[in-house]
Amino acid sequence: MTDRYAVIGRPINHTKSPLIHGLFAEVTDQDLAYSAIEGSLDDFAGDVRRFRDSGARGMNITAPFKLQAFELAEARSERATLAKASNALKFENGKIYAENFDGIGLLRDIEHNLKQPLAGRRVLVLGAGGAVRGAALPFLQAAPSRLVIVNRDVGKAQTLVAELNNPLLEVCSYEALAGQVFDVVINATSASLTGELPPIDAALFGQVQLAYELAYGKGLTPFLRLAQSAGVPLLADGVGMLVEQAAEAFAWWRGVRPETRPVIDRLTIPLV
């Protein structure tokens, strides 16, 4: 019998997940069907339970339901617990299990695909939302010399720092970035989704080797354009993260991790 999975979000018409998991199933010879579900804002839990009760095996979760998915689960991983959000659910042994692969997917894209190990490097992350919460623990495990989170709401970032209690993790305001030096800068704010630039200037990129934009498929966002003009040698958007986190979920569900490079190449839009 064909095993069924789905991604749920609202809106969901933009999702690449059915394509990605369909390609993964082909190359790993897995018998599965993967669909997209437009979630209900007032009955997300019902949507998930109905899909599970129909015999489905798991789901990916996208905006705006990641927090609700975490709350709905009966068993949660350390990554999901830290993020207080889940981007993947598994239905097994009568329980709903929650995971969060956003951070590990991002780290793998940076270190494996882009060949930019974070060990000993100074890393700046712009934003303190759910994606950053999911990435904080994997990033710290990669042993950077500094991991700095900057956010308009400094208190929000300080809460995350307090929870992790790691001396490598710092928080600061945008104003306090002046004069600081970094090797990697990651834009995890929502600014690029509306064609805006976070409150930074070109001086921030003085010694930066990688500028990474979590948004994907938007070409040169204002963040990447500023980094390019400042001479940053390597620019990347989040398409690799998207595929890598999907591969982690696929492996969690199916016990086999698919090759990601062909799928990344297929989905990549040139940064122009």
Q: What residues in the chain have per-residue pLDDT under 70?
A: none
Q: Which of 16, 66, 84, 95 is catalytic?
A: 66
Task: Report pLDDT for 149.
Answer: 92
Count of Cβ atoms closer than 10 Å to residue 262 Cβ: 12
Residues 255, 78, 183: CA angle, nearest 5 degrees: 95
pLDDT digits 0-9 by tens, 17-60:
999 999 999 999 999 999 999 999 999 999 999 999 999 999 99
Task: Report pLDDT for 83.
Answer: 85
Domain extents for the chain? 3-100+240-267, 103-237
Asked whether this chain's domains 3-100+240-267 and 103-237 adopt the same fold, the reply is yes
Check if 218 is active-site. Answer: no
The Cα–Cα gap between 109 and 89 comes to 22
Q: In the chain, which ranges are continuous DSSP H helix?
A: 17-28, 44-53, 66-72, 78-83, 102-108, 130-141, 154-164, 222-229, 239-254, 261-267
Question: Is it true that domain 3-100+240-267 has CATH number 3.90.1490.10?
Answer: no
Q: 266: Cβ–Cβ under 8 A, 6 or more apart, which residues?
A: 23
Task: Report pLDDT for 107.
Answer: 96
Task: Report pLDDT for 169.
Answer: 87
Task: Report pLDDT for 223.
Answer: 97
At 47, the amino acid letter reads D
User: What CATH code is assigned to 103-237?
Assistant: 3.40.50.720
The length of the chain, given as a count of residues: 272
